[in-house]
Structure 1
Amino acid sequence: MFESGSAACIASTRSGPCPRPADHAPVPLCTAHLGAVGDWIDAEAGHTDALPTPCRACGSRLGVRYPSGWLCAACEWRVGEVLDGELPPPRVDVVYYIRFDDRIKIGTTANPRQRLQRLWHDDVLAFERGDRLVERRRHTQFANLRQGTSEWFSPGPALDRHITELAAGIDDPWARHARWVADAVALRG
């Protein structure tokens, strides 16, 4: 980092060297030239931000804004393009892990947003790709923690470890689900 007043901008103008200081800049450029570089990078590489509305192709909220428009960061659908209305949305079965108070529910669905809107929960802990077969395996695997015959389980070291492994490196389980949907869209062409 440069000391205040210690460096001049290294950019050139039509009339010669830029006369403005490069105070506090990570590279010796003035604020105006740093802004120009930032605009150039946004035009070339795009600027990642929240989409104005969820992606119609995969449901992701993360997009990349270019001067020409938005792309979904998960499936690269160009916002505003017409989706093929004849194709149904892809089916992506997931096993979900949600917490409510001191209980954890292990369930499955092909539409987690709709399903989880109907369930009381405090947190979405993780998603795992899989259908009823995977769900049954998890119910058997953690049977000693099961509360009666429900899909609700008490926390325990093995279940906590499994959820931690599923969530490793994932800040938002919904981003992982959006990626799976985007992959399914891409696979069908």
Structure 2
Amino acid sequence: MTTAEKHDAVASPGRCCIVEAGGSACGREVEASAPLALCTRHLLQAYEHVVGEVGVTDVAPVPCAACGSRLGVHYPSGWLCAVCEWNLGDRPDYDLGAGRVDVVYYIRRGDLIKIGTSSNPRGRLAQLLYDEVLAFERGDRALEQHRHAQFAAHRAGGEWFEVNDELLEHIRVLSAGVGDPWNLHRRWVSERVASGR
């Protein structure tokens, strides 16, 4: 029997189309919900192969030490963070300074919004009285000064600005799809640590 004849013999509707190593047709019944003409055994073999190549995204067994995400990608060799691709189980060495990320922060207290900058926003914000962290934007003092000039018409004093539509729209754009701004900051830090820059 030629290879084409073997394939034709296997390719009957409702039967697994795999030709086994010995040249004989698998011929097992294909489940009605199967996306390919493969029996359960061959679907599972294909799945295991794909998992080894691309991993499986799932809830990680531990939060990422670099960015805090609970979403991971599981490979046969271990877990990677699905957000920043940090090897779960590895500890970032923040003492080397690689985790420094300058941010412009937007916080609200009552009817005022403060636009400030810090390379350590958690430490800086611990020193301030505020009601809510609205957004973070990657940038240093130059970007902060640019934002102060951009919204200067609404300055209430120092780095505090009156709530206004233009500033609220800017914050909305920065926070779109972000959820918690601290998650975004953790991702930036972990990317910085992972890149070594």
Q: Which category of TM-score, normalised to the shorter sequence, fits these structures? A: 0.5 to 0.7
Alignment counterpart, residue 44 of structure 2, candidates 35, 45, 51: 35
Match of 1:180 in 2: 188
Correspondence for 1:51 = 60
Conserved? CA contact 2:17–2:25, under 8 Å: no
Separation in 1, partners of 2:76, 2:157 = 56
**CA offsets 1:8-39 (integer angstroms, 9 cap, x no match):** 44345677334223423333334553333223
Equivalent residue in structure 2 for 1:120, among 121, 131, 144: 131
For residue 102 of structure 1, report the CA deviation from its aligned partner: 7.2
**One-letter amino acid of the counterpart of residue 148, structure 2:** H
For 1:183 and 1:72, the matched residues in 2 are separated by: 11
1:99-178 paired onto structure 2 within 5 Å? 104-112=113-121, 119-121=130-132, 126-147=135-156, 149=158, 151-156=160-165, 158-167=166-175, 170-171=177-178, 176-178=184-186
Going from structure 1 to structure 2, the CA distance change for 1:101 and 1:177 (only over 3 Å counts) comes to same
Quick check: which has more Rg, 1 or 2? 2
Letter aligned with residue 10 of structure 1: C
TM-score, normalising length from structure 2? Answer: 0.63
Superposition deviation, residue 46 in structure 1: 1.4
Aligned to 1:65, which of 68, 71, 74?
74
* Residues 139 and 151 in structure 1, CA contact (< 8 A), matched pair in contact too: no
Alignment-mate amino acid for residue 29 of structure 1: L
Identity percentage of aligned residues:
46
C-alpha deviations, 1:74-130, integer Å up to 9, x for none? 554322345558624521011134568876553333244566688532xx6543211
CA distance in 2, matches of 1:46, 1:87: 31
Please list every run of 5 or more consecutive structure 1 residues that lacks an aligned counterpart in the other structure. 1-5
Q: TM-score, length-normalised on structure 1?
A: 0.65
Query: In the alignment, is the contact (CA less than 8 A) between 1:74 and 1:182 conserved in 2?
Result: no
- Structure 2: gaps of 5 or more residues: 1-12
Q: How many residues align?
A: 179
Contact 2:116–2:159 (8 Å) recurs in 1 = no
- Per-residue deviation at 1:67? 1.6
Structure 1 residue identity aligned to 2:188: W
CA distance in 2, matches of 1:41, 1:137: 48
The CA RMSD over aligned residues, in Å, is: 3.8
- Give secondary structure in 2 for the equivalent of 1:90: coil
2:17 maps to 10
In the other structure, the counterpart of 1:78 is 87
The question of whether the paired residues in 1 share the 8 Å contact of 2:98 and 2:196 is answered with no
